[in-house]
Chains A and B, each alone.
Chain A
Amino acid sequence: SQQGEEDPQALSIQEGENATMNCSYKTSINNLQWYRQNSGRGLVHLILIRSNEREKHSGRLRVTLDTSKKSSSLLITASRAADTASYFCATDADDYKLSFGAGTTVTVRA
């Protein structure tokens, strides 16, 4: 079964609004990574958060990690049309074998 599962499956927001998506996982991890994938393209690494970190920022991205709840969230502030993409969390519960969920598809409306 998938280790990381994103929620919601799809999200539609207006440009300028914030987008929040969540990731839940089942077993202990060393770190959790978030990736973006534009339609039909490769994955772009967004941010890595280690198991001993609780929050991390990168530009308009904010990632939180709650190891007690085995969950993470990705917040994109002041969304832009270019943020339209699928977002995946990946966990390393099985060492280097990253385990991906099915992703959250974000659509930012102009």
Chain B
Amino acid sequence: NAGVMQNPRHLVRRRGQEARLRCSPMKGHSHVYWYRQLPEEGLKFMVYLQKENIIDESGMPKERFSAEFPKEGPSILRIQQVVRGDSAAYFCASSPPYSPSYNEQFFGPGTRLTVL
């Protein structure tokens, strides 16, 4: 049973470009979460999705950031017109399809975004 997959592992973008980060949850998991980690800090919640639904995006910046989890395929975190402050590690986590409050979230290896 493969773990949470994320790609790419490293992404370099110039200011103004778009960044697309992909996450495939563990088999059987239908809840996906995105977190951001700035250098020397802990992870900060961004968004929680289920298939075809955004459940909670309260941690995501209002502009330039969007997330989706389509019926087929991976979850995508999209950052438009990237700025240097977007440079961070972005982690995806998944959990089983029952109450997310009581279960472990399993994390992927992360995508390290560098904005030049």
**B69: interface (CB < 8 Å):** no
User: Is B59 at the interface (CB under 8 A from chain A)?
Assistant: yes
Q: What are the residues of chain A within 8 A of B91 when measuring CB–CB?
A: 42-43
Task: Say if the beta carbon of B104 comes within 8 Å of chain A.
Answer: yes
Known contacts A41-B109, A42-B91, A42-B109: A100-B44 contact under CB 8 Å: yes
Given contacts A30-B101, A43-B91, contact A97 B42 (CB under 8 A): no
Q: Does B106 contact A (CB under 8 A)?
A: yes
Mask, B9-48, CB within 8 Å of A = 1, is: 0000000000000000000000101010000111111001
Contact of B42 among A30, A33, A45, A101 (CB under 8 A): A101
B33 touches A43 (CB 8 A): no
When the two chains form the complex, which single residue of B42, B44, B100, B109 contacts A95, counting CB atoms closer than 8 Å?
B100
Contact A97 B101 (CB under 8 A): no
User: Which residue of B35, B41, B108 contacts A102 across the interface (Cβ within 8 Å)?
Assistant: B41
Chain A interface extent, by class: 20 to 34
**A30-B102, A42-B108, A45-B106 known; A97-B40 Cβ under 8 A:** no
A11 within 8 A of B: no
Q: Which residues of B sit under 8 angstroms from A50, Cβ to Cβ?
A: 102
Which of A30, A94, A96, A98 contacts B43 (CB under 8 A)? A98
Task: Return the contact of A96 from the options B6, B100, B112 (Cβ within 8 A).
Answer: B100
* A94 contacts across to B, CB distance below 8 A: 45
Measured between beta carbons, the chain A residues less than 8 angstroms from B52 are none
Within 8 A of A (CB), among B66-116: 91, 93, 95, 100-102, 104-110, 112
Closest A residue to B103 by beta carbon equals A48
Residues of A within 8 A of B106 (CB): 45
- Chain B residue nearest to A43 in the complex (CB): B107
